[in-house]
Structure 1
Amino acid sequence: MSVSIIINSPLQLHILARKRKITPSAEQSLSKTTLVLATPSKGPSNISQSSTLFIQPFYGPKQMYPSGIATILNHYTHNHTPPAEKHENEELWHNRHVLIPYNLQEQSNNIITDGELCSLLHSIFPGTENVTEPCFRGYLIFQVKQLPSAPWPLTVGGLPITVSETRSGRGRALMFPRAMPGRLSISILQSGFDGTNMSDGGLRQLARDVNTYFQLNLPAVHIIELMFTCQHTFFIVIDDHAELKTGEWPGKIANYPVAYLHDKDLNRPAWIDKPDRRETEPHPSMEIADDTAYDVLRPGVMISSSIITGASHPATLSSTAGVLVKNTTGDSFMTAAFHAVGDSERVWQSRRPAETIGKVAVEIPFTGICLVKLERSISFSNQTFEINEGIVPQFTRLATSGDEFSFSTCYLNSPYTGLLDSVIIAKSIKIQAERTPHSIEERLRYVAYDWLYHGQEEGNIKAKLPDGMCGSVIWNDEGVIQGFYQFSIKEGSWKGFSACVSASEVVESGYTLVA
């Protein structure tokens, strides 16, 4: 018999200066509680309302529970029996995370043969018929008789999930869309890359080697991007003009399966391929967003710039302030999304259009990141807004090209969403051609991206990821800044995924986080 526990972060010392003055509607709609499933052999001995629960045995997200403890709000012994204090239309699985006394990122925890673990997983949704996994257990697949009411958890046991109906196929059966596989008998670059010990630098080198192979052996195929997923498979994105002749192309790279798709299949935003990589239309208005003009700038504050629309009328484009970085001589700059800055390169806070906070000083080529030199009168703190009552994330550094990479939970805090947690489910290298002045030769740039999954959406549950989120800082449980949000895919088979430029690109350009 399992025990279900609803928990929340304990109240911390309240720091008013770091709390948003306006809570975005998207954040208001997200559950702030977590479901914990325990068993008689793996669970706390004493459970009572308002008592303390130690999170470590359940592998909870560190950013949400930095002290390692939580407050028990409710508990009961039958998963699908309504709790004593239950709001209308609220179910147990309407929590962002489901914690269990197993770390499912460890392959030793077998979800098929471990009876206790298997029972826990089957108890989350009513009518669960099967719980399975893809290769290398990048995520969990729940197959149910009928889709339960949304919203559904982002993670279970530390892994992202998909939910689908066994017979009709409704829902999302697989995390990644199907693509054209290559020929398995053609295996290239069989040594030198290990998907279990991956870094930005290692993936960049592999992308160079793959691109060189195609240039020498398949010159008609123009590679745009190489993506490695949490299920240890590759996708190669090719130019739309190339015919998919995958029977003649490699089916394995570094001993991992590879499939191919056209660039158009990703449905990236239109501005991505523009020469100046700038927006040309203002962002549509959302519901409630935090457009407060703060006396101290910090990551997550709404910033604005002026653009000229097709009718030559000025319009305002909003984005999100990044972090303060410095170069080797100590000069400091605020990171921002280059495509959201107008031709004047002037930036201000949304409610203070007459007050310039800074101007673009540097663009990091092909990354979509620019560095804004702030006015001397502007104060900037490298601490974002609190993510729960009194809990303020502590950023430690920018991710580097040598960091060992893991597919794990990450966070962002934008004026349109407030706190939004996600899971990094893929990493890619986009190949960009840079033509140097006075030369017809092209120099290739290999730009690293992280791909985020925000949770499965069905029916009337719609993503609330406006373009104004661009520039938002993405950080992990250790406080390391992984990257900067760039765009989300809003239609097609890749809908629901988002891309962020890796912070290692900023480090490679000679910048570090201001302490």
Structure 2
Amino acid sequence: MALQFSPSRIRTSSAVISLQRSKQPSPEKRCLPYIATISPPKRAASATETGSPVKKLKEKLKESLGEEPVPDAQFNLQLGSQDLQKGLAQSKRIELPYSLIEAGRATAPPEGDFSDLLRLFPTTVGADVFPPYLIIRVQKIPPKPWPLTVGGLPVQFSTDKWVESFDRGRIGQGLKFLEDLDLQKTIDYNQDVLRQAVRVFQELKIEIRDIFWFGGFWQITIPDGTDIKLLPSRIASNPAFYRTMSEAPDPDPAALRSKPPQGVEYDDTMYTTAPNALLRPGIMLSSSVRNIIRNGESEESFKTTTSGILVTNRKGQIFITVATHGFEEDGLVYHPNPHNGTVIGRIIESLPGTDISIARLNPSLRYVNETFKTYAEPDGIRMNGVSPAYPPHLRVYDALSMNNPFSGSCEGVTMALGATIPEEGDKDYVAHVWNLFENGDEPVEGSCGSPILDAEATYLALKFTSGYQ
């Protein structure tokens, strides 16, 4: 089946008003709302002369909007000011006078001056740029929630002066490959580079499960027992690190929760009967009911995931993407669940080597490729198209966003670009993006099938993580 991205084509008027969620998921309420810019003293002085910039911003926005302040609101802070810690404690992104990212690669501060980073958080004793993270070494870990990024890099805190925060694995001890390509300096990561990197292992007859580029090094997953002496040491001028499958087990998408966490609110609204009856990416989908044996007793269960994007085939027929593992063999797609909802479509085909299926919607339903509205996006986000995983469309450390019924609106960052190798043994590969998302203080869960967008509102991929059963 040849599919193409479909713009917001199902409309009742020249403009569809994007709806806000009927229920705001608990994780969204915990998300940090602001972006703090650490400005040079002269620039920051006007923002901090009188009163707290955070307080003044809240008052100004509340007065103009008649409601609480807009997430993504940005304000300036000055190092050493009384407002610094108060502002940083509410900021999901902290921007420095310089960036720690250059062309999709992590870089040290100008002239190796880490002094600004050492003054951000109390009890800081050191800071290291250790891709893919910025490590802030402290005597005492600051209370959660923490910022997602500092200077564009994902941030981690550590009380250890030496321990690295990311296990890259062991470096290969074999030959260097693709030496005519220099990912370190002269070229950007793109699909052609990835294709050639995968071909290296095919020609060496070395089995791999996945391969990812972290903006300066490769990380590859190999079967247990693979001889490290045969594994490439550098690919396209970047070091290649390896982890075995037992060291990095593949997440099992079928290992779903038996029930949602107690006390966590999520959006299980039935939007087919809501005002305007318009469906969109990020609504709750469920499988049909099946009987399982738990603790020796039979009970009913169903899988819960979320909806993807609207696509069409060459004939103009309309479908939506869904997570394959979230449905039973009958292919029935319920919204929001089989107990309180209704069948809105049926899976007609699964894409080989992926966890993506195509579902045909019932003819009476309307679906639009626009996310739910948020304070930051009062009209929602209209998806612009599909972005291939190469610059300028997507780079490591690019900002991402996701909106689904479990996490609500949340932000993320691109950690790595790469591919997984289908289990069927096919010589081809499936391009993947390794993402990190925040939701206040815990990892994002239950987002199976949710579309992920880059800063240009371009559709990137489906989020397949653990869902609810």
Aligned to 1:509: none
Instruction: Give me the whole-angstrom Cα distance separating, in 2, the residues matched to 1:428 and 1:339.
Output: 22
Partner amino acid, structure 2, of 1:140: L
Partner amino acid, structure 2, of 1:236: I
Aligned counterparts, 1:51-450, within 5 A = 70=73, 72=75, 79=80, 81=82, 92-106=88-102, 111=109, 113=111, 118-134=114-130, 138-167=132-161, 173-183=163-173, 186-192=175-181, 194=183, 196-207=187-198, 209-215=199-205, 221-230=206-215, 232-240=216-224, 243-271=225-253, 279=254, 283-286=258-261, 287-294=264-271, 295-311=277-293, 314-350=300-336, 353=339, 355-389=342-376, 390=378, 392-400=380-388, 404=392, 405-407=394-396, 408-434=398-424, 443-450=426-433
* TM-score in terms of structure 1 length: 0.73
Aligned to 2:31: 30
Cα separation, partners in 2 of 1:400 and 1:417, compared to 1, 3 Å? same
- Contact 1:51–1:71 under 8 Å retained in 2: no
Deviations 1:169-191 (A, max 9, x none): 6xxx53521412212x6212223
- Contact 1:320–1:336 under 8 Å retained in 2: yes
Secondary structure at the aligned position of 2:305 is classed as: strand
* Aligned-pair CA distance for 1:264: 2.5
- Contact 2:197–2:235 under 8 Å retained in 1: no
Instruction: Give me the whole-angstrom Cα distance separating, in 1, the residues matched to 2:304 and 2:358.
Output: 16
Secondary structure at the aligned position of 1:445 is classed as: coil
Partner amino acid, structure 1, of 2:453: W
Partner amino acid, structure 1, of 2:180: S
Instruction: Give me the whole-angstrom Cα distance separating, in 2, the residues matched to 1:282 and 1:158.
Output: 33
* TM-score in terms of structure 2 length: 0.79
* Aligned-pair CA distance for 1:112: 5.7
Aligned to 1:486: 464
Higher relative contact order (Cα pairs below 8 Å, separated by 6+ residues)? 2
Aligned residue among 442, 448, 453 for 2:436: 453
In structure 1, list runs of 5 or more residues that go unmatched.
1-14, 54-62, 216-220, 272-278, 435-441, 490-515
* Aligned-pair CA distance for 1:320: 0.6
Instruction: Give me the whole-angstrom Cα distance separating, in 1, the residues matched to 2:245 and 2:36.
Output: 39
- Contact 2:45–2:78 under 8 Å retained in 1: no
Instruction: Give me the whole-angstrom Cα distance separating, in 2, the residues matched to 1:300 and 1:224.
Output: 29
In structure 2, list runs of 5 or more residues that go unmatched.
1-15, 61-69, 272-276
Cα separation, partners in 2 of 1:71 and 1:162, compared to 1, 3 Å? closer
Sequence identity (%): 25
Aligned to 1:499: none
Aligned to 1:497: none
Instruction: Give me the whole-angstrom Cα distance separating, in 2, the residues matched to 1:76 and 1:402.
Output: 34
Cα separation, partners in 2 of 1:388 and 1:133, compared to 1, 3 Å? same
Instruction: Give me the whole-angstrom Cα distance separating, in 1, the residues matched to 2:101 and 2:420.
Output: 27
* Aligned-pair CA distance for 1:145: 2.4
Instruction: Give me the whole-angstrom Cα distance separating, in 1, the residues matched to 2:22 and 2:301.
Output: 25
What is the number of residues matched between the two proteins? 418
- Contact 2:35–2:92 under 8 Å retained in 1: yes
Partner amino acid, structure 2, of 1:323: I
Secondary structure at the aligned position of 1:261 is classed as: strand
Partner amino acid, structure 2, of 1:200: Q
Partner amino acid, structure 2, of 1:180: R
Cα separation, partners in 2 of 1:113 and 1:194, compared to 1, 3 Å? closer
* Aligned-pair CA distance for 1:42: 4.7
- Contact 1:140–1:162 under 8 Å retained in 2: yes
Deviations 1:198-253 (A, max 9, x none): 2234313321x2222321xxxxx4222112113x111221123xx14313432112
Cα separation, partners in 2 of 1:281 and 1:450, compared to 1, 3 Å? closer
Report the RMSD for the aligned CA atoms in angstroms.
3.3
- Contact 1:320–1:471 under 8 Å retained in 2: yes
Partner amino acid, structure 1, of 2:109: I
